[in-house]
């Protein structure tokens, strides 16, 4: 069982680094996974830049976004985004919150992102907007309070993503690999949509095309191929997470010296 837990944490760390390497996450943003053995918990890294997350950084939280075990680690202020969405959507197994440069212009201008190529249909036919100001007035735009997280979850509704005014986006998936694929292709779609707009005309997919093409994102051969490809890009960049599941700390020098002294004394006694 411990090996399985280590594998899950490693895969979550890998997803975090993958999304950072593909430009979805930067120094900020985070990705989580509903606990595979307990739907009332989720896994999320301690507060750390996504490209540096390791398996040993992954902590376990209740759906109230509180750590299951007391921890002195710094935690993400916006972890309520994940907990509130898992509470509202039992079908969601993974969540990514990001501020991707490809998506921010749409969040600022209030322009909808629409599917413009087949893999871009992974974002669905429509992506709703959430304006924090409407309900909470002037804020620092962070989603740190439970009531803010619940409001965002309501705006998400049955959709697979929600755009956040002047902030970024939150994306959900039926599993981790689908989430990584959807988050990445949504950003690519936003780039292509903006480029088409600069050319003078945006022609979105038809509703029928969107429905049929959108189902591609969940196919095992598609998510398997994209996961393999983005993993290889991580390898080439030298950014793969280490396999060790627990962060190791060195003993203080005094302890190491004491340990060496004890070992020497034992050796003399045996001699």
Q: What is the pLDDT of residue 217?
A: 80
Q: Find the Cα–Cα–Cα–Cα dihedral 229, 230, 236, 241, rounded to 10°.
A: -130
The question of whether 78 is a catalytic residue gets the answer yes
What stretch of H or E contains 44?
A: strand 41-45
Q: Each residue of 63-118: pLDDT tens digit?
A: 999 999 998 999 999 999 999 999 999 999 999 999 999 999 999 999 999 999 99
Q: What is the pLDDT of residue 85?
A: 98
Question: What percent of the chain has a predicted confidence (pLDDT) above 90?
Answer: 85
Please tell me the distance from the alpha carbon of residue 128 to that of residue 64, in angstroms, as a whole number: 24
Cα 221 to Cα 130, 176, 216, 224, distances in angstroms = 33, 15, 9, 5
Q: What is the pLDDT of residue 218?
A: 82
Point out the catalytic residue in the list 78, 209, 228, 236.
Answer: 78
Please tell me the distance from the alpha carbon of residue 102 to that of residue 192, in angstroms, as a whole number: 9
Give the single-character DSSP code of 140.
Answer: -
- The domains located in the chain, with CATH, are 2-270 (3.40.225.10)
pLDDT bucket at 3, cuts 50 / 70 / 90? confident
* CA of residue 93 relative to chain centroid, distance: 11
Residue 91: how many other CB atoms lie within 10 Å: 9
- Give me the DSSP letters along 206-248: PHHHHHHHHGGGG-HHHHHHHHHHHHHHHHHHT-PPPS-SS--
CA count, 13 A, side-chain hemisphere, 247? 13
pLDDT greater than 80 at residue 199:
yes
pLDDT bucket at 244, cuts 50 / 70 / 90? low
Q: Compute and round to an integer the Cα radius of gyration of the chain.
A: 22
Task: Note the pTM of the prediction, 2 decimals.
Answer: 0.88
pLDDT greater than 50 at residue 271:
no
SS3 content of the chain, % helix, strand, coil (to 5): 50, 10, 35
Q: Each residue of 29-55: pLDDT tens digit?
A: 999 999 999 999 999 999 999 999 999
């Amino acid at each position: 069982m411990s090996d399985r837990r280590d594998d899950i944490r490693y895969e979550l760390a890998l997803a975090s680094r993958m999304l950072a390497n593909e430009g979805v996450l930067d120094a900020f943003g985070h990705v989580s996974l509903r606990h595979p053995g307990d739907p009332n918990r989720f896994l999320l890294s301690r507060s750390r830049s996504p490209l540096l997350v390791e398996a040993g950084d992954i902590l376990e939280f209740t759906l109230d976004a509180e750590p299951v075990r007391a921890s002195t680690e710094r935690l993400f202020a916006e972890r309520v985004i994940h907990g509130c969405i898992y509470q509202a959507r039992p079908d969601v197994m993974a969540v990514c919150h990001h501020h991707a440069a490809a998506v921010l212009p749409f969040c600022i201008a209030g322009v909808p992102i629409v599917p413009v190529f087949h893999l871009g249909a992974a974002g669905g036919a429509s992506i709703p907007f959430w304006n924090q100001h409407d309900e909470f007035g002037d804020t620092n735009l962070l989603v740190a309070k439970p009531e803010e997280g619940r409001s965002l979850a309501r705006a998400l509704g049955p959709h697979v993503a929600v755009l956040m005014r002047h902030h970024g986006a939150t994306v959900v998936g039926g599993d981790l690999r689908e989430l990584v694929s959807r988050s990445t292709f949504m950003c690519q779609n936003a780039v292509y949509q903006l480029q088409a707009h600069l050319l003078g005309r945006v022609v979105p997919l038809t509703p029928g095309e969107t429905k049929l093409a959108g189902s591609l994102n969940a196919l095992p051969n598609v998510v398997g191929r994209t996961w393999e490809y983005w993993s290889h890009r991580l390898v080439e960049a030298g950014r793969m997470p280490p396999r060790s599941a627990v962060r190791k700390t060195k003993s203080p020098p005094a302890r190491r010296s004491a340990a060496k002294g004890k070992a020497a004394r034992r050796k003399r006694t045996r001699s």
